[in-house]
Structure 1
Amino acid sequence: MRTDLSKFTVGKYVAGPKWKVLVWHFVNYFIFNSAFPWPYRAKSALLRFFGAKIGKGLVIKTKVRIKNPWRLEIGENCWIGESVWIDNLEDVFIGSNVCLSQGAMLLTGNHDYTMSDFPYKLGKIVLEDGVWIGAKSVVCPGIVCRSHAILTVNSVATKELSAWTIYAGNPAVRVRERKFVG
């Protein structure tokens, strides 16, 4: 048996109503994925309009891509850095005081390589309060990052990150405990 991508279908997956997906595509491209520094409040309002649940104090920089805002919940006082990609084919929950650094990616979808038709394999992502996802890091489908966990620069989270723990590498492994000194 071999992989046969001509047989690929999205299965039961539905992004949302076609009109909403189409309109969001243009808003995402011209406002969020733009190099123009649109006001944070305007971006938050647009996300809410498209069904995202957004807390107060969201900082959302330029060149950000969000696949489906209606599958997104963000707590209060979060930072989303330049070129972050929230590829949320499935739900993404981001707690309060979470930082997604430049180029970070939240990836809720993959493919099942054990099947010849390469079907979607989706999983929700949860980032609890105080989590920091470092620059150019990836959080894979189905991952939970517990309270105040850190995923360091250019690392890949392939399993749950424990609370108050720092992880690094590909795949990410525990490096040490996270402590505040002041």
Structure 2
Amino acid sequence: MVQTTSVRDATHPPLVARHLRGFTGAGYDKGRPVLTQAAWFAVLHLLFVKWWFPARWRPPLLRAFGARVGQRVLIRRGVRVHWPWKLDVGDDVWIGEDAWILNLEPVTIGHDCCVSQSALLCTGSHRRRSVTFEFDNGPIRLEPGSWVAARAVVLRGVTVGPGAVVGAGAVAHQDVPSGSVLTTGGTA
């Protein structure tokens, strides 16, 4: 049995009783009709993520669904992109195996960036004080030359500055300054 303790004082606001049935998703625009969404999910799961689907065909396929993808972009197997039409990728970008671009809002990846294996770029969130847990989404921007290392996470509203690194396993919940390195212990 797990015991929990509740502390309520001036620094801890009262708990919010959630009523998820009332969730509306207000303000979230998927950006394309349901038929286009369904077509993308079919292509994503039947072709795009497969090991046998050639890497050179992934950028053109994303472009066919509205993504802006530069030249010499390498997208490895297992990469998932939620909405291609909300993705902008510069030239000479590498996206590693099993990376997940959960882009409910726009994701911009500048030139010469690397998003390593199993990294997560997550533009979605929820308002924690909302009784119905409404969305609190925000765009993500990776500036030129930045690197999101293996199993790192970049959360909604974050900009990773030019040449900055989000180290392996680190979580970027706020902007990462130009040239800095965010590790699991903080910015170094």
Tell me, yes or no, whether TM beats 0.5.
yes
TM-aligned CA deviation for residue 65 of structure 1: 0.7
The structure whose residues are more often strand, as a share, is: 1
Cα separation, 2, equivalents of 1:97 and 1:26: 30
Pick the aligned partner of 1:35 from 46, 51, 57.
Answer: 51
Asked whether the equivalents of residues 74 and 93 of structure 1 are also in contact (C-alpha less than 8 Å), the reply is yes
TM-aligned CA deviation for residue 41 of structure 1: 2.5
Aligned to 1:179: none
1:106-152 CA deviation, whole Å, 9 max, x = no partner?
00001111010000111000000011101011000000001010011
Aligned to 1:101: 116
TM-aligned CA deviation for residue 174 of structure 1: 1.3
Pick the aligned partner of 2:60 from 31, 45, 48.
Answer: 45
TM-aligned CA deviation for residue 8 of structure 1: 1.0
CA RMSD of the aligned region, Å? 1.1
Asked whether the equivalents of residues 40 and 58 of structure 1 are also in contact (C-alpha less than 8 Å), the reply is no
1:23-172 matched pairs, under 5 angstroms: 23-36=39-52, 38-169=53-184
TM-aligned CA deviation for residue 94 of structure 1: 0.3
> What is the total number of aligned residue pairs between the two structures?
172
Cα separation, 1, equivalents of 2:168 and 2:130: 33
Cα separation, 1, equivalents of 2:88 and 2:115: 14
TM-score scaled to structure 2, two decimals? Answer: 0.88
Cα separation, 1, equivalents of 2:39 and 2:162: 35
Pick the aligned partner of 1:20 from 16, 30, 36.
Answer: 36
Whichever of the two has the greater Rg, that structure is 2
3-12 or 79-88, which moves further after superposition? Answer: 3-12
Cα separation, 2, equivalents of 1:24 and 1:152: 31
5+ residue gaps, structure 1, are 176-182
Counting aligned pairs with the same residue, the percent is: 34
Aligned to 2:22: 7
9-18 or 99-108, which moves further after superposition? Answer: 9-18
TM-aligned CA deviation for residue 4 of structure 1: 0.7
Cα separation, 2, equivalents of 1:63 and 1:8: 31
